[in-house]
Amino acid sequence: MDAQSTARVVILGAGLAALTAALRLAPRPVLLISPDPLGTGASSAWAQGGMAAAMDQADHPANHAADTVAAGAGLVDRNVADFVTAEAPEHIRELTRIGAPFDRTAEGGYVLSREAAHGFARVVRVKGDQAGAGITRTLIAAVRATPSVQIAEGWLALGLHLEAGRVAGVRLMRSEGSAPFLLKTPAVLLAAGGAGGLYALTTNPARIRGQALGLAARAGAMIADAEFVQFHPTALDCGEDPAPLATEALRGEGAHLINRLGERFMLALHPDAELAPRDIVARAIYAQAQAGLRPMLDTRACLGARILSEFPIVATACLRNGVDPATAPIPVAAAAHYHMGGVATDAVGQSSLPGLWVAGESASTGLHGANRLASNGLLEAVVFAARAASSIHATLPPVAEVPPVDLPAPSLAPGATTLPDPGLVQKLRRAMTEGAGMVRTGAGLRQCLGTIAAIEAAQPDCEALLNMTATATLIAAAALKREESRGAHFRSDFPESLGPEGQRSRMTLTEARALRPALQESL
């Protein structure tokens, strides 16, 4: 394998965490690696709701922290919740200073939306449902104007290179497939997204299928809370892959969930009805769908035609699929949306592997617990990206100007393939949906683990597939070991929680693989 070395810090990813870290590391030279053109393939850019922060004078970060802890179902690290929510308002102000186009009132304040399980309206938005896209565009422009940042688009990370137990490089290939090469570096920041695409119905960009967590796990990193996958209650049930999202802010504006009989089914399930925690709403929608009752989101009374101008992304997706949300309810389904689990980190984003920092959805910081509070995802990304950048600065010696990395031209031996078999990926997504989805059982999880092992054995030399199957194995194995229901993790064979306070799970890939059946099923 060809190899070269650089003094640049390598950042894997192109969402809010990666972009924020690149700016915070300046003037230290960095190489930002993205499989797709910036702004097109990261989940951050698709985020509709916004970024949570106590910006109202009547609110306080302590209230935000308390809501975060309550939503997390007994697994949130309170210290993490305290410092993240305390730092949140300054991050909003900093993003505003560099040009983030947050919605503002006539008096100059921020337009704040209330979302599920928040006690206050504290979600800062951009054009109603365009927060992720608006903030991402602002950060991309700033990153492209920063001389210390080299951007490599169209490159995919396959694995981490270790020397004496320390992460010392990353194996890369072209996104469309090529021979891999090794780039040695003094530090790697992993900020490359979640795992929603491991499921058949997801709101995540097509390429987000657990690869970031998987490549860290394959290198030996400790993984935390892998079993906790959040299903967004209101993805459009229209047959698109990925499924368009109907932002939670619609329910914050007063939209109701109804079924084909016109019944508001959430009223009997939770005092907060449509604004109950996401896991409760998602399971209710799943149950309605399983019963053939066709769940729908009704925005007609609260928004009417205003949805077309105030929530244009949702409205466009509806109209594209033959639904006019101003005059008809929107068919919805629960879809894999966010992974609370990830690479275990400390308070500054360091993983269990020296030389590897992690931020964004691929990290598990302790903020989200068993059930992420709405709009805390973007917040966590920027807070921990900034903290990881400060930690990298403090760990590495100063460097002078560093030349750009000369990335090699694509090359591929005749007949060789470095990309996953699409058929195997689809089988993996079906297996995860059936065995490790909304409602889980021990038997279903064991069958899922067997199928994952068989998929892995069918293309054993494909690192890109092995990263996906590693993450899938960790999710299913952690779910099998947690014999209770808590937050987003629901076991129908263990439907009760083991008490108000729980224990976070920690597991290596070696430990997870030990739970797979000895006999692999055939595909």
Residue ranges of alpha helices (H) inside 436-508 are: 442-458, 463-481
CA–CA distance, 218 with 215 (Å, rounded to integer): 5
Cross-strand bridge partners of residue 182 = 3, 171
Residue 321 neighbours by CB distance under 10 Å: 15
What phi and psi, each to the nearest 5 degrees, are found at residue 315?
A: -60, -40
Residue in 206, 205, 170, 202 with CA at minimum distance from that of residue 188? 170
Catalytic residue chosen out of the listed positions 209, 218, 278, 516: 278
What phi and psi, each to the nearest 5 degrees, are found at residue 463?
A: -65, -35
| Three-state secondary structure string covering 184-235 | ECCCEEECCCCCHHHCCCECCCCCCCCHHHHHHHHCCCCEECCCCEEEEEEE
Strands 363-364 vs 342-344: parallel, antiparallel or unpaired: parallel
519, amino acid identity: L
306 is catalytic: no
- Coil, strand or helix: which one is 265? helix
Neighbouring residues of 474: CB distance < 8 A, sequence distance ≥ 6 = 213, 217, 223, 226, 341, 507, 509, 512
Place of tokens 């209770």: 484
Cross-strand bridge partners of residue 335 = 232
Residue in 62, 64, 139, 59 with CA at minimum distance from that of residue 94? 139
Cross-strand bridge partners of residue 333 = 235
CA–CA distance, 295 with 287 (Å, rounded to integer): 9
DSSP secondary structure of 309-374? HHSHHHHHHHHHTT--TTTSPEEEEEEEEEES-EEE--TTSB-SSTTEEE-GGGEE-SSSTTSPPT
Q: How many residues does the chain have?
A: 523
**CA distances to 337, 344, 366 from 73, in Å:** 18, 19, 12
Active site residues: 278
